[in-house]
Each structure stands twice: as C-alpha cells, then as structure tokens.
Amino acid sequence: MIALEPGEAGAFMQRLGPAIDVAFGRPKAIVSVSAHTAARVPVVLAAARHSAVYDFGGFDAKLLTLRYDAPGDPALAARILGLLQSAGIDARSVPEGGLDHGAWTALRYIYPAADIPVVPLAFVPGDSPEKQFALGAAIASLAGEGVLVLGSGSITHNLRRVFSGGGLHPSKAQAEIPESAAFRRWLAERSAARDWDALFAYRTRAPHAVDMHPTDEHLLPWYVAAGAGGREAAPLRIHDSVEMGSLGMDAYAFGPSASALADALKARRPVAA
C-alpha cells in the first residue's frame, strides 16, 4: 500500500533518487534484489524490457493500474552471470523479465521516469545471510561502473502481528511495539560496529529475531546489498520509520561512500515550519 499511501518511507524514497544522483552520479543501471524474486539458485533476469508484476491479491484495485515499464540490460545481465560464476556461485540466467512489487513500489518513487535499465537478480531464500553477503560481494565491482545495487525488503516483517487486529488496513498511527524497536536498534548498532559475525547470526543473537522475521526472506536482500558494499564499510542507516506498529521500513547505505549519500539526503530533507 506504500505505492498508494507513501507515508514516511515513501517520502524518503522520493528524496533518495535525487540524493543518489548528487552523491554518486546517476546510475547507469540498477541491479534489483527483492524479497519477492527468489529461486532455487541465483538467477539473473536478462529481459530487454520489464513491467510491473502484480504478485499480490486482496488489496486496493488501484494498485493493479500502476505501471513501471523499465528497460532491461541483457549485456549487463550476462556480465553479472559471469561475475557470479567466476566467484564459484552456481548461477543461471533466463531471458524473461518482470519487476515484483518489492521492486517497482520502491522504483516508482526513487526513479519515477523508469528510464534507467534494471536487472533483477533472484536470490535463494534458504541460503544463510553469509551466503547472501557473498552473492553481493561477487558483483561489488559493478559499483565502479556506475551500477546501483538496490535491495528491497523490510527490516521487520511479521504480517501476523501487523494484521492481528483483523482487516487489510491496520492503523498507521499504531505505536511501535517494543520487540520491533529492540530489533531495529540492535541491527543499527551492530551495523555501526561492523559486527559481521553477529549480523550473520542475527536469528540467534538479535532480540526478538524470529518474532520479527518468522521467515527471513524480507531481510536477506539487506545482506546482498551489504556484500556489494564490502566488509570494510559500516552499513549506515539513512532512514528509519515504522508502519502499523511493527513493519520496519529502515533503509541503509553500503560501501565506502555511504556517508556521502547520507549528506545528500540531509540537504534534501524538508525543513519543518
């Protein structure tokens, strides 16, 4: 519903694209890693064109009218496949395309003109955070070529808690539950400390980890993006907000220039009257 009701997270994403352009230059292409595009092995979607995939049901019918028709980049897809395979990762490529709602909801705000080529990369949801990190590390060199790696998921994601009051539209004004706050704080603190051992073992070391992520596919894209940023740079939280009491919408920047993006975002932050 963020696609129709942007809230704090949507407002942040509207500032994010222009801030990326200021901090790094406009991306030549985007590698999209979304919680809703997964496979038995990593798969590069090499289509020449992508459109929005409506991989949900029961929500406002207006969502089915929203489009995001973005170019693909078959040549970049082939390069990504080569990098993954050179790193010893059993990756595949398919000529099909499509952007799941985790990708197009974000991209409609970040780059609404849909004029930057996108290459979706499906990850393996059963793989550990450390393996997801290795997946991102294998394509880290793309940053030097002007390619943005964009992970889309949710810092906390227990929909049973979100919809516990019944109905598809819980109150956005609901106060954050303590479990969500504790988990988000732990992730930010361990990220700032570059405590990769703890971050990789988050399900046993983070407070309320299994409660906040009964299954962890919505957090795993974070690790792919982190891997692309590298171990030496601390993941930097550049946005934090919560929807409906326990749906964490925090965003992080990765890599040695993450602080430049944070500075660019601060420059674009609306000033309260």
pLDDT digits (tens, 9 = 90+) for 210-245: 999 999 999 999 999 999 999 999 999 999 999 888
In whole angstroms, what is the distance from residue 141 CA to residue 159 CA? 36
Residue 144 vs residue 6, higher pLDDT: 144
Q: Is residue 213 part of a domain?
A: yes
pLDDT band at 269 (very low <50, low <70, confident <90, very high): low
- 6 band by pLDDT with thresholds 50, 70 and 90: confident
Contact 245, 180 (CB under 8 A): yes
For residue 178, give the CATH number of its domain.
3.40.830.10
Q: How many whole angstroms separate alpha carbon 64 and alpha carbon 87?
A: 39
pLDDT of 271 above 60: no
Contact status, residue 46 vs residue 94, Cβ threshold 8 Å: yes
Q: Please state, in angstroms and rounded to a whole number, the distance separating the CA atoms of residues 97 and 51.
A: 8
In a domain, 64, yes or no: yes
Determine the pLDDT at residue 270. Answer: 59
What is the pLDDT, as a whole number, of residue 172? Answer: 63
The C-alpha atoms of residue 111 and residue 139 are separated, in whole angstroms, by: 22
Within its chain, how far is the Cα of 202 from the centroid?
A: 18
Residue 141 CB coordination number (10 Å): 12
| pLDDT average, residue stretch 73-87 | 98
Contact 228, 140 (CB under 8 A): yes
- Residue 1 lies inside a defined structural domain of this protein: no
Distance separating alpha carbons of residues 166 and 56, to the nearest angstrom: 18
Whether residue 35 contacts residue 152, with contact meaning beta carbons closer than 8 Å, is answered with yes
Residue 61 domain-assigned (yes or no): yes
In whole angstroms, how far apart are CA 244 and each of 185, 192, 257?
Answer: 18, 26, 32
The reply to whether 162 falls in a domain is yes
pLDDT tens track for 99-114: 999 999 999 999 999 9
Report the distance separating Cα 138 and Cα 124, nearest Å.
Answer: 15
Residue 104 covered by a domain: yes
pLDDT tens digits, one per residue of 164-192: 655 455 556 688 999 999 999 999 999 99
**Mean pLDDT to the nearest integer, 147-167:** 82
pLDDT at 163 over 80: no
Domain that holds residue 24: 7-267
Nearest partner of 30 among 100, 130, 115, judged by Cα: 115
Q: Is residue 174 part of a domain?
A: yes
Kindly give the residue spans of alpha helices, DSSP state H, lying in the chain. Answer: 7-24, 74-86, 101-110, 129-138, 159-162, 178-192, 196-200, 202-205, 209-212, 220-229, 258-267
- Mean pLDDT over 49-77 rounds to 88
Q: Is residue 2 part of a domain?
A: no
Determine whether 272 is exposed, middle or buried from the number of CB atoms within 10 Å of its CB (0-12, 13-18, 19+).
exposed
* Percent over 90 (pLDDT), the chain: 80
Going by C-alpha positions, the residue among 132, 249, 236 that lies closest to residue 191 is 236
pTM for the model = 0.93
Domain total of the chain: 1
